Structure 1
């Protein structure tokens, strides 16, 4: 039975709890990850979505088990991965149109070093060393199949930004991805917990994917921020928009903020770029260096906000410019 005395005690305890909470110096967090302060374009805190680009391409060979294992320890919000198809229809995780930059294909298949990814069978792909180019200690790393990445993200409460890469060279890519999701129950777990996003520079591919899996959010990528009219159209079918941080200014930020789209920046590998994106309330930051990004997110002193672009072109880590997203 609820009595006047019990109500009084509950009230006192509630007041004490609020007092303790207000005295707690620990910043608010979202699932254990940093939360940004107020954005200059919003009136409420936005949780930072930190994304390990290609699994953390700055610290280990991109999109390999070595990169995934390192980034799991850092625990970003999500991994990002690029999916393409082999000639026999197996979805694999690789970024470039060829294997020349990130494997020893020239040694294993001398006459096919610059052939497209989709001309190799999965059995042939598994013969390639995807680690030695980054460092001798990574020799023997293999290019993973799509569902292999679930071994790292699924049990660790990490999400996945899955990029439909070069769909023009992988006919049927969307259907194959949808089929993989149907035969492995872990994918449904990812969807049910809001941990999967499809992204692409190819809007048509995203629309095809949406027909097959309409419950999964879509992120359209473009090197620059489109006009307000184009963003309004995008707002009608996509959930998020991602752009090259080096081409972003506050005018572009305002255009995106005038829609319901959340904003992502790529590939943010300089501390200046990280600080600028954080200070301006960018929702999602994609970086080859997730540990550095998360450390910067904890930094209390950030650059003063400005109305003009402050980031120099510069380079983004050790990768060649041609390998940029």
Structure 2
């Protein structure tokens, strides 16, 4: 842990003052750097979430970072989908009417590949599919994009951390350039994040949520970032996170989610966050200059 971590307790004591006098965007972006803008499930305000179309739309908007969610099928394939049920974002209920509640883990990859994952969003996207993880990273490579990958519901899928890392490795995503600046693996599960760090210490990791400031010293051992909901943030909390060095010897970062309006984007940028996760990356980029 870096010596700057000593400042964490002082930052906490100054929390009230920081709330009254938030940092300006210019101050937050020291050296002229603005927060990174990350397309949440792809550019999901403009194309069906977690599909290749959403990746393409983010690329069209000039967005370099894309966030996604990974889960596992019954036959052990990794697919990119947010919910543990197929019902909301596919026509699984229509295609497989007798298989409620349509959990991802109860379907094979071939069955999921039959589903329409785009019509719910709009006719223009009819026939879009739930991509596999390897298909998803191939599309990112085509656009030279970067990936913030969330391991979703890890308790449902024992061993998914190792399997995710294997797929990434097989697709060339664990080489030095990717590890240095094109990949972050995150989860709401601290155990899952810790496992990823143990298996592949060179991979950058992030813990989703807003753990108490008193626990940050513990998470700094295996997480490079703390990624909270924007509604839970304060300038004091952001400063506290950034006062610790993560496992790779650099200050921990904060990516705030999910910000979809200019006013909120400017507010959290003023707190000094390092990134903003959004369904509307073009709007947020315009607001904060990311």
Distance 1:82 1:107 in 2: 24
Highest RCO, 1 vs 2 (Cα 8 Å, sep ≥ 6): 2
Give the C-alpha shift of residue 57 in structure 1. Answer: 1.2
Aligned to 1:292: 283
Mapped contact 2:261–2:284 kept (Cα < 8 A) = no
Change (3 A) 1:101 1:212: same
Aligned length: 260
Mapped contact 1:89–1:176 kept (Cα < 8 A) = no
Distance 2:177 2:126 in 1: 31
Aligned to 2:20: none
Distance 1:149 1:266 in 2: 21
Match for residue 27 of structure 2 among 32, 35, 38: 38
Aligned to 1:243: 228
Match for residue 267 of structure 1 among 248, 252, 258: 258
Are 1:128 and 2:119 matched, yes or no? Answer: no
Aligned pairs (5 A) from 1:158-237: 158-188=145-175, 191-222=178-209, 224=210, 226-237=211-222
Mapped contact 2:118–2:129 kept (Cα < 8 A) = yes
Give the C-alpha shift of residue 279 in structure 1. Answer: 2.2
Distance 1:177 1:247 in 2: 29
Mapped contact 1:72–1:152 kept (Cα < 8 A) = no
Mapped contact 1:197–1:217 kept (Cα < 8 A) = yes
Aligned to 2:247: none
Give the C-alpha shift of residue 186 in structure 1. Answer: 4.8
Give the C-alpha shift of residue 197 in structure 1. Answer: 0.3
Match for residue 98 of structure 1 among 62, 80, 85: 85
Unpaired runs of 5+ in structure 1?
Answer: 1-35, 300-325
Mapped contact 1:243–1:265 kept (Cα < 8 A) = yes
Mapped contact 1:128–1:143 kept (Cα < 8 A) = yes
Deviation larger for 108-117 or 52-61: 108-117
Mapped contact 2:173–2:179 kept (Cα < 8 A) = no
Give the C-alpha shift of residue 158 in structure 1. Answer: 1.6
Mapped contact 1:227–1:255 kept (Cα < 8 A) = no
Aligned to 2:272: 281
Aligned to 2:9: none
Aligned pairs (5 A) from 1:56-75: 56-75=43-62
Give the C-alpha shift of residue 43 in structure 1. Answer: 5.5
Change (3 A) 1:149 1:189: farther
Q: What is the Cα-based RMSD across aligned positions, in Å?
A: 1.9
Q: Deviations over 1:32-89 (max 9, x none)?
A: xxxx6332xx854445221000011111100112111111111223100100110111
Give the C-alpha shift of residue 162 in structure 1. Answer: 0.5
Mapped contact 1:52–1:80 kept (Cα < 8 A) = yes
Distance 1:113 1:295 in 2: 43
Greater gyration radius:
1
TM-score normalised over the length of structure 1: 0.75
Deviation larger for 148-157 or 104-113: 148-157
Distance 1:50 1:43 in 2: 16
Change (3 A) 1:43 1:106: closer
Distance 2:219 2:271 in 1: 22
Unpaired runs of 5+ in structure 2?
Answer: 1-24, 245-250
Mapped contact 1:240–1:263 kept (Cα < 8 A) = yes
